[in-house]
Amino acid sequence: MEGAALPGRLIWRSARVVEIIEETPRVRTLLLDCPDWPGHLAGQHVDVRLTAEDGYQAERSYSIASAPADEVLALTVERIDDGEVSPYLVGELRVGDEMELRGPIGGYFVWSKMRGGPLLLLAGGSGIVPLRCIMRQHAAVMSDAPVKLLYSVRSQGEIIYRNELDQFARNGVEVIYTLTREWPPEWTGYHRRIDGDMLREIAWPASDRPLAYVCGPTAFVERAASELVALEYEPDRIKTERFGPTNDSTIVDRSARDNTSPIT
């Protein structure tokens, strides 16, 4: 089994920060040592709990950024200035610090080799996080399913995992960017929000029975999913996560079929 999470009661586990990677000025990836981690599937998430000195606790949920086969667990967090949790995780957490995790959680927005493809991955902003996990797993299990990634981001400087995405592109993943707010004069790629014309140009034809994963802000996900349906994609082969209203980072409302609470 490809790093399948074991079923059972969800408990809180202690995880220690072993490395911090600065992805962009507002985004960090936290590499964590969690000795009794049960394993996870590509696309799952965890709850994170922080406890203040006075006993106050705050919880948020974050998509897992690392593939099941990776040696350490990774979470990628975007700072939201008025958030309760993300400013601490991005601005104050240090190597050696500990946090509590509960998970893995979720079974709807997951991918494994047996699910096949072709894979169409659509990301808006920090919605790239679970899709990076899927691409890592795709490489780890040497899947021959073709992959296209369309990544919508405000500017080049806000592209998360830029070096790794370049590596994916060199190894056969078709990586396409669209910049929605700022782009340099020499930019020759897309520079607008995702729309039907863009998807008609880059998406796999519906006759190939592609499997689509869409993650990002609510407006992005709704627009992309609607356009895929208009392209005659099978609705049950379109998996979505969306950022919901919150005062912190990337809270996501998964499909009701997942039967999980919103995640970050």
Domain with CATH 3.40.50.80 in the chain: 113-258
User: In the numeric block, which tokens belong to residue 58?
Assistant: 């705050």
User: In the numeric block, which tokens belong to residue 226?
Assistant: 């609607």
- Is residue 11 predicted with pLDDT exceeding 60? yes
Number of neighbouring beta carbons within 10 Å of residue 3:
20
Query: 113-258 maps to which CATH number?
Result: 3.40.50.80
- Is residue 195 predicted with pLDDT exceeding 60? yes
What pLDDT is recorded for position 251?
38
The DSSP 8-state label assigned to residue 68 in this structure reads: T
CA distance 31 to 18: 6
What is the pTM assigned to this prediction? 0.88
- Is residue 1 predicted with pLDDT exceeding 60? no
What residue type is assigned to position 214 of the chain? V
Q: What is the mean pLDDT of residues 67-80?
A: 93
- Highest average pLDDT, of 135-139, 184-188, 246-250, comes from 135-139
Q: Distances from the Cα of 69 to the Cαs of 73, 136, 137, in angstroms?
A: 10, 9, 7
Q: What is the mean pLDDT of residues 29-51?
A: 93
Is the CB of residue 20 less than 8 Å from the CB of residue 111?
no
Q: Mean of the per-residue pLDDT values for the chain?
A: 88
What residue type is assigned to position 177 of the chain? Y
What pLDDT is recorded for position 27?
95
CA distance 16 to 95: 8
Confidence class for position 81, pLDDT limits 50, 70, 90: confident
Q: Does domain 12-105 have CATH number 3.40.109.10?
A: no
100 beta partners: 14, 49
Q: What is the mean pLDDT of residues 13-28?
A: 95
- What proportion of the chain, given as a percentage, has pLDDT over 70? 89
Is the CB of residue 45 less than 8 Å from the CB of residue 105?
yes
- Is residue 3 predicted with pLDDT exceeding 60? no
Q: What is the pLDDT of residues 196-253, one digit of tens each?
A: 999 999 999 999 999 999 999 999 999 999 999 999 999 999 999 987 554 343 434 3
Tokens 């809270």 correspond to: 251
What pLDDT is recorded for position 244?
56
Domain with CATH 2.40.30.10 in the chain: 12-105
The DSSP 8-state label assigned to residue 19 in this structure reads: E
CA distance 156 to 179: 7
* Closest CA relative to residue 74, chosen from 115, 37, 120, 108: 37
CA distance 53 to 144: 50
Task: Sort strands 27-33 and 12-24 into parallel, antiparallel or unpaired.
Answer: antiparallel
Task: Sort strands 119-124 and 98-105 into parallel, antiparallel or unpaired.
Answer: unpaired
- What proportion of the chain, given as a percentage, has pLDDT over 90? 73
What pLDDT is recorded for position 2?
52
What pLDDT is recorded for position 65?
97
User: In the numeric block, which tokens belong to residue 97?
Assistant: 């610090």
